[in-house]
Every structure is written in C-alpha cells, then in structure tokens.
Structure 1
Amino acid sequence: MEALFDQSVPWYLIDVPPTDRAMRQLLVEYAGVEDSAVEKHITDTRSKAWRVAPFPCVGSFLFAELVLSNFPVYPDIVANLKSGTWTRYLEVGCGLGQDIRKLIHDGVPMTSVMGTDLLPGLLESGHDLFRDADALPLGKSLFAADFLDVSDNNVLGKAGLDGTVDVIHATMFLHCFDRPAQLVACQRVITLLKNQPGVMIVGKQGGVTKGASAREHPVKGPMGQIGGVVRTNFLHNVDSFKTLWDEVGQATGTRWNVQVCEEEVMDRGYLYFDEEEHRWLSFVIVKL
C-alpha cells in the first residue's frame, strides 16, 4: 500500500535508529517480539502509522523511545499507582503509547492506566506495536478524542474521567497548539485531575532556550493535510511556560508548583525544530 502522506520531509527517516535496551526489553517481554525482529517490527508499525498520522514522532521513530521512565519522579509514580495511593494515570497525546506499556510492564495495574490521542489509527498502531488490542481496548483504556473539546459531549467526560486522575503525562503535546489553545488544554487537564493537593502533571515538549523569545511556528510538512486545518506550534521558553501556568491558575482558582528545566539535547527533534535555539523543556507540575 502506498503511503497517503509525503515522506520527503527531514523527519521521515528510512532506517530505524538503534533501539535502546529498555525499549527492546519492553517489546520482547511485553509484546512478545523476537529480539532479532525488533527493528523490523518497529519499521513495519511506522509504515502503518504514517498513513494515518504523519507526525514527527512517527516519521523519526520517536514512538520507539521511552520518556516517562527517564524522569526522576518515575519511581514515585510507579510506587503510588502500584500501592493504590493513586488510582489513575492518563497520558494525553499518547501516540502509540509506549510509556503506558512501560508502566504496565513495571507492575502498575492495567486498570489504572489510560491514554488518549486525536486519531484512532494512531492508537491502533500502538496495538500493532505492542500486540495488546484486547488488553487495552479503544473506548475503555484508550480514547480517540479531541482534547480541546469542552462540550458536554466530549469523549473523556462521557467516559467518566473528569476529576478522577492522579497523574497526567503530556509529552510532545502542548507544543502542538497555539498559545490560546494551550490555555484551553491546560484548563482541560485540571478538569480531569482530582481536586486535591499532590496531583501531578509531568512531561516534555519542544521549546526555545531561556532568554530567547517564545515563538509561534507554522505546522510543517503533511500534518496540515489532516482535516484541512491550518495550525501553528507555540514554543515556550522556561519563563513563558511558567507564565502560562500562572494564567492557568488564575483562570481556575488553583495553585501549582511548576518545575521546568531546559535540556539541550541533540536528538531527532532537531529534524523538525530546526534552529539553534531549540531546546526540550521538561516539567513536573504539582497541585498545591
């Protein structure tokens, strides 16, 4: 089958990069992929995913890298979910859901983890990658939803998730929106979280170095073909990200401890955010 979207973009790699030990272990032990077939399995999954979601994380194989488990707070997240102190994890913009499967593999109850992304085909590609469509079904564990839908009929609300979540993971998510939409998305995050101190938002996103101006970029490549919507990506620096959460707190009457740091990592994100001032912003935000 021919790909529906243009592959001649810098972030569409032909060959899968080396798979790190933790991701390889996850595919072998959780998904039952033969060790010798891991790279082919990842490549085959990418071919299917690109037909529905021509995103940088798909084209550059970032979906085959783990993020959450690299955060210092990860052991606490796992311990809280395993003990029942926390009962629900939700990943927004989960893509193929590799971090969800890592949590399960590390002993978190499958009933405690959920994910959501815009396109059902992307979630189904996660089922292909991890061979667990029956264990994590669409509409029960994984939800295809427009996260910016705040109507009474929004998918996550109808599923009963509002006010039930202890920790939300949002990696490569907020930078997909313009600045006004980011404010809406953050307010939606707060609606989903339990209304109690200690609930957490953790993640990583594209940004710019501290001292550089926060900026808006037009969406590049074939992503703009989806739904015919012209979108922009708003990239924060450390200070503007904190300002966003000041506004979120004011709008919702809540207070947050916002820890955000800049990471200068020369990785495949530069295939899309191709500028010297590009940085990753990692954050842990806890309700006071």
Structure 2
Amino acid sequence: MESLFDQSVPWYFVDVPPTNPTMHKLLVEYAGVNDEEVQRHIANIRNKAWRVAPFPCVGSFLFAELVLSTFPVYREIVANLKSGAWARYPEVGCGLGQDIRKLIHDGVPKTSVIGTDLLPGLLESGQELFRDADALPLGQSFFAADFLDTSDENVLSKAVLDGTVDVIHATMFLHCFDRPTQLRACKRILTLLKNRPGVMIVGKQGGVAKGAGAREHPVKGPMGQVGGVVRTNFLHNVDSFKALWDEVGQATGTRWNVQVQEEEIMDRGYLYFDEEEHRWLSFVVSRL
C-alpha cells in the first residue's frame, strides 16, 4: 500500500513553486489565509492530498494554479452566471476546486456552481485549502462520484443536473481516459447541457503537437493503482480532438464548433508527459 504514495516520482515536488499572484490573492481574500502563510498552507494541503490522490496535479502543485480565468470566454461565463442568464456551472474532475472558488470570489452565486471528482479526499482537501467546508458542503456543492456512472443511484443523478447546464468546465479530465471512454464521457457531458445552440464545454488537457500522431500514453507511477483502476491516457493533437467532436456530433445528432489551441509550454506537465511532442490543448466547444 505504501508504494501508492511513493514520493520518488519526478512530478513530486518537495518545495512549493512560486504562487501565481491571482491564486495568492484568492487564498488571502477568499480563504482568509495570512499573506505570509500562503506557501506553507499550500504545502500542508498538498501533503495531505497526496495521501489520498498521488496524482501529478497534486505532487507538482498544479492544483494551486487557475485555468478557467485565463480563457477569453471567462468574462462571458461570469457575467451570465451572475445575471442568472445561465443557471448552473458544473466542473467535472474538479480536483481541489480552485477554479470554482475563483468564480465565487468574482461574484458568481455559490448556488450556481457544482464540482465533482471521483475521490472524496480530493474534494475535502479543497475544502481545507479554501476553508469553506460549511459554505460549500459535500453532497450539495461538491459530489464524490463516478461521472460515467449514469445509474439512478449515482449522487450526480440524484442532483438532477441533466438538461439544466449552459457551460461545463472539464480541465485535465478527458485525457485521463482511453479514446472509447473519452467518447462516452463527451456523450455524458451532453446529457447535462441544455438542448440549445450556444451551450459550451471549456477546458485544458495534455496532448501532442499538431502533426504528431494522437496516441495512447501509459499511466505512470502510483496514479494508475488508485482504486485498482488500470487504464491508459489518450493524448490528442488538434486534428484528432476535432475528430472526436465530429464523432460526438454524428452519434448524437448535434453539431459543434471546436476551437482548440495548442500551447507549447515547458512547465511541470513535462514531468509526467515525458516526450518532446507534449503540448497543452485549450479548448472551447460550443453547440451550433
């Protein structure tokens, strides 16, 4: 069992990298962490989270970075959720839920946001990081659930989200699955969205350079052992990601505008996606 939490993997950092000023501000103003305690607070939470989820995003402190607010479409999302034009915002594979807290801090009603992840320990670590377990409780704002489980007993099914959602955030989510499971996940996402043009899915994930072949990527280190799940990651390039959504559309009778941008950033992702052709893919997928 101890091997699950092996710290010798390349993506486990002993020291906290410099915290982005926006995240630092969020922890001070939203969570009430003393300015000089931010780095230590992040380190303490990471050490606890690693004991339940030895994932790259935990070991390398990627959970202390914000993604959604870097998208040009972020202002539109905030404005529509604040005004009530859009009612619900779920984030699948939300991890510690930092982007959700950023939305709330920017004025989005907490009743509009929902986060889900497979492991309750990750969600609880997020509550500790942001000191808001009472304000955003499990079973109400956050759900520990298998997103792909569509049975009536799944807590997400009981939350009655199907057909109510205008925008879904899915960062570091789809790349966790093989290609057939990604197709299943996309179809599941569509069941949550309202049946109208303009609904959207936004996110960021690991991928490969345009022109390089999309590929299966073996799960490394202890991550693939958690919960006894044996799986592979499927990494897209720009063209194969668009092809995935073409297939989603054909299977569901829908059409999608897929905006996907390849980013070559020499960051901590290379510690896990260990290859020269690694890229990040940022995407906004909206229904036509």
The TM-score by the shorter chain falls in which range?
Answer: over 0.9
1:269 maps to what in 2?
Answer: 269
1:17 counterpart = 2:42? no
Distance 1:102 1:205 in 2: 20
Moved more, 145-154 or 53-62: 145-154
> What are structure 2's unaligned runs of at least 5 residues?
none
1:183 maps to what in 2?
Answer: 183
1:108-150 CA-partner distances (Å, limit 9, x unpaired): 0110111100000000000000000011111111010101112
1:237-257 CA-partner distances (Å, limit 9, x unpaired): 000000100111111111111
* SS in structure 2 of the partner of residue 213 of structure 1: coil
1:41 maps to what in 2?
Answer: 41
Moved more, 190-199 or 35-44: 190-199
Does the CA contact (< 8 Å) of 2:4 and 2:222 recur in 1? no
> Superposed, which structure 2 residues align to 1:32-181 within 5 Å?
32-181=32-181
Letter in 2 for 1:113: V
Query: Shift of residue 155 of structure 1?
Result: 2.3
2:29 maps to what in 1?
Answer: 29
Letter in 2 for 1:277: E
Q: TM-score, normalised by structure 2?
A: 0.98
Aligned length: 287
* SS in structure 1 of the partner of residue 5 of structure 2: coil
Letter in 2 for 1:275: E
Letter in 2 for 1:229: V
> What are structure 1's unaligned runs of at least 5 residues?
none
* SS in structure 1 of the partner of residue 217 of structure 2: strand
* SS in structure 1 of the partner of residue 201 of structure 2: strand
TM superposition outliers: structure 1 runs of 4+ over 3 Å: none
Query: Shift of residue 163 of structure 1?
Result: 0.9
Distance 2:3 2:183 in 1: 34
Q: TM-score, normalised by structure 1?
A: 0.98
Q: In structure 2, do the counterparts of structure 1 residues 121 and 3 end up closer, same or farther at CA, with 3 Å as the change threshold? A: farther
**What is the Cα-based RMSD across aligned positions, in Å?**
1.1
Query: Shift of residue 4 of structure 1?
Result: 5.6
Does the CA contact (< 8 Å) of 1:3 and 1:50 recur in 2? no
Does the CA contact (< 8 Å) of 1:156 and 1:162 recur in 2? no
Letter in 2 for 1:268: R
Letter in 1 for 2:243: T
* SS in structure 1 of the partner of residue 205 of structure 2: strand
Distance 1:12 1:41 in 2: 17
Letter in 1 for 2:7: Q
1:187-225 CA-partner distances (Å, limit 9, x unpaired): 000001111111110000000000000000111010122
Distance 1:240 1:225 in 2: 28
Distance 1:227 1:124 in 2: 17
* SS in structure 1 of the partner of residue 27 of structure 2: helix
1:199 maps to what in 2?
Answer: 199
Query: Shift of residue 3 of structure 1?
Result: 9.0
Does the CA contact (< 8 Å) of 1:97 and 1:123 recur in 2? yes
1:237 counterpart = 2:237? yes
Letter in 2 for 1:178: D
1:50-89 CA-partner distances (Å, limit 9, x unpaired): 0010110000000000000000000110001011110111
Distance 2:154 2:213 in 1: 34
Letter in 2 for 1:20: N
Query: Shift of residue 154 of structure 1?
Result: 2.6
Identity of matched residues, %? 83
* SS in structure 1 of the partner of residue 274 of structure 2: coil
Letter in 2 for 1:141: S
1:220-275 CA-partner distances (Å, limit 9, x unpaired): 01012212221100000000000100111111111111111100011110110011
Distance 2:3 2:129 in 1: 18
Distance 1:220 1:48 in 2: 21
